[in-house]
Amino acid sequence: MLLITFDNQLGTAPPNHKYKPVRVDRVLDIGTGTGSWAIDFGDEHPEAEVLGVDLSAIQPEFTPPNVKFEIADVEEPWTYSRPFQYIHSRMMNGYIRDWETYLQNCYDYLTPNGYIELTECDFNAKSDDGTLTDDLALVELLRMWAETAAELGQPFREIEPLVDVLREIGFVDVEVRMEKWPSNPWPRDRKLRELGFWNLENFTKGIEGFLMAPLTRAFN
């Protein structure tokens, strides 16, 4: 979905620009998961050293020679020997307990003129015409999810306040790009229709995995 959102680019930061990407020699991919982003970036940028970190060792054994993976908890003290020119952080909302410390660590481990790219979801459902009401099942479900995340000490953070945190820490030239993910394939626009199809597919197939653990742990 994110490749579709970013028009087949791995992100929106200058190192990902399709025609004139900024060269970066050392890259950190936080919350790498299966490692697909790190591997794709390593393939596209063979000159870059890419490190993907995650709590789970679910990455493939065979990777490009410039891509490595480590098990790490990014909320523990950072001990990297050298800073990075590009830090890529994706879908960490609801996993990070202390965003201020997390973003400070990112700042401290970036080279001067380095880039950080945060890709996060706003977990509040919205409608263009204002017809989405608080009593709808989807809205109630997302509200319960947010309540469980807060109960477990990993609350969903609103996006706009995080922008203020970035600036307070010292980041400059902060840019915010908001994208729309429809909840179904109804839009007439081709790109939005495709995003809606995959969003519905991901949500309906993954809802049990998303919610079972937090709901049972928070309210049991």
Query: Where are the domains positioned within the chain?
Result: 2-120+157-179, 130-154+182-220
CATH match of 2-120+157-179 with 3.40.50.720: no
Q: What is the mean pLDDT of the chain?
A: 93
Query: Does the model's pTM come out above 0.85?
Result: yes
Find out whether 214 and 145 touch, Cβ atoms under 8 Å.
Answer: yes
CB neighbourhood size of 115 (10 A) = 21
Percentage of residues in the chain with pLDDT exceeding 70?
A: 100
Report the run of H or E that residue 8 belongs to, with start and end. Answer: none
pLDDT digits (tens, 9 = 90+) for 141-152: 889 888 888 888
Cβ pair 192, 200 in contact under 8 A: no
pLDDT digits (tens, 9 = 90+) for 57-71: 999 989 999 999 999
What pLDDT, on a 0 to 100 scale, did the predictor assign at position 4?
95
List, for residues 156-191, the tens digit of each pLDDT value.
888 889 999 999 999 999 999 999 999 999 999 999
> Lowest-pLDDT range, 58-72, 79-93, 94-108, 203-217?
203-217
17-52 confidence digits (pLDDT tens): 988 889 999 999 999 999 999 999 999 999 999 999
Structure tokens at 102: 């997390």
Residues 207, 90: Cα–Cα separation, whole Å? 19
The residues near 191 (Cβ < 8 Å, ≥ 6 apart) are: 4
